[in-house]
Amino acid sequence: MQQTTFVSGYYLDDKDLVEGIKALQDKNIEIADVRTPFPVHGLDKVLKLRRSRLPRAGFIAGAMGTAIGFGFQAWVFTEAWPLNFGGKPYLSVPSFIPVTFELTVLFAAFALVFGFLLSSKLGPGADNVIFDEEVTNDRFQILLEVSNGNSEQLQSELQAVGAEGVQHHDV
């Protein structure tokens, strides 16, 4: 893999972070990543993150669950082994609803969780680089990607917008 280098700086408050990012964006500096201890309200808009497609994945999987759940029960009771339970109709729709509902939820939940893990490249054994262990505590970190050795320039830009602990990272 190609070697990438980063420059990082942090804030101790989420409001300062958002202001810092906006100041950098005004100077047309691209933000590689922002790492925070908790979801900062409005950060996705500032960073212009694409809206997550997870809800769509959840809906499609849920619809599959509905179809499979209902279809399977209908197949069992009309095709595979029609049994007469107390004179009820073979295709008794109301009594198929609970299982259909549960499978809808189950499929959608799995799709959401695995969709989240796969799209974020998280999972058992994932070995992501952590630049600063205090990010999960109280630091709001900005990461800028270095290109053409402009590390020092980026470092001074970060300092100019009030970031603390500005430093260079080789990955």
Residues engaged in binding other proteins (CB under 8 A): 12-15, 33-41, 43-44, 47, 49, 51-52, 54-55, 58, 62, 72-73, 76-77, 80-81, 83, 85, 88, 92, 95-96, 98-99, 101-103, 105-106, 108-110, 112-113, 115-117, 119-130, 133-138, 141
Closest approach of other proteins to the CB of residue 166, in Å = 19
Q: Are 132 and 126 in contact (CB under 8 A)?
A: no
The dihedral built from the CA positions of residue 112, 118, 122 and 128, taken in this order, carries a sign that is negative
* Residue 121 vs 148, nearer CB to other proteins: 121
User: Cβ of residue 96: shortest distance to other proteins, in angstroms?
Assistant: 6
**Residue 104 to residue 31: CA distance in whole angstroms:** 39
Strand 164-170 to strand 140-145: parallel, antiparallel, or no bridges (unpaired)? Answer: unpaired
- For the chain, the residue count is 171
Q: Give the SS3 label for residue 144.
A: strand
Considering beta carbons, is residue 39 or 149 the nearer one to other proteins?
39
